[in-house]
Amino acid sequence: MRFQQQQQPCTGSYGVVLLTGLSKLFALLGQSTAQVSAPTRDIVFKTVGDSFAPFMMSGAMADAVRGRSIS
């Protein structure tokens, strides 16, 4: 059986890449007519609090969710 990442998320590696990309996108679009709306930003911020923050300890991501980036 092949490992499927959609069944086992790696919040600490691919998730960090996602958040980095989103932060750059928000900054890029921030002063344009295509800026990300407040309700959409709020969804992202809530997601970070709900799914990333619980795995942060002393400013670092827990090893259990870092996937391949741990090696």
Contacts of residue 49, defined as CB under 8 A and 6 or more positions apart, other chains included, come to none
- Domain contains 54: yes
Q: If you search the block for the tokens 């709020």, which residue do you land on?
A: 42
* pLDDT at residue 64, as a whole number: 84
Question: What is the reported pLDDT for 25?
Answer: 93
Question: Which pLDDT score is estimated for 4?
Answer: 52
Q: How many domains does the chain have?
A: 1
Range of the domain at 43: 33-63
Chain-centre distance of CA 4, in angstroms?
A: 19
Q: Report if residue 7 sits inside a domain.
A: no
**Sign of the torsion formed by the C-alpha atoms of 38, 43, 49 and 52:** negative
Three-state DSSP at 56 gives strand
Question: For residue 12, which amino acid is it?
Answer: G
Residue 51 belongs to a domain? yes
pLDDT in tens, the chain (71 residues): 455 555 556 788 888 888 899 999 999 999 899 999 999 999 989 988 888 888 888 988 888 888 777 77
In 3-state terms, what secondary structure has residue 60? strand
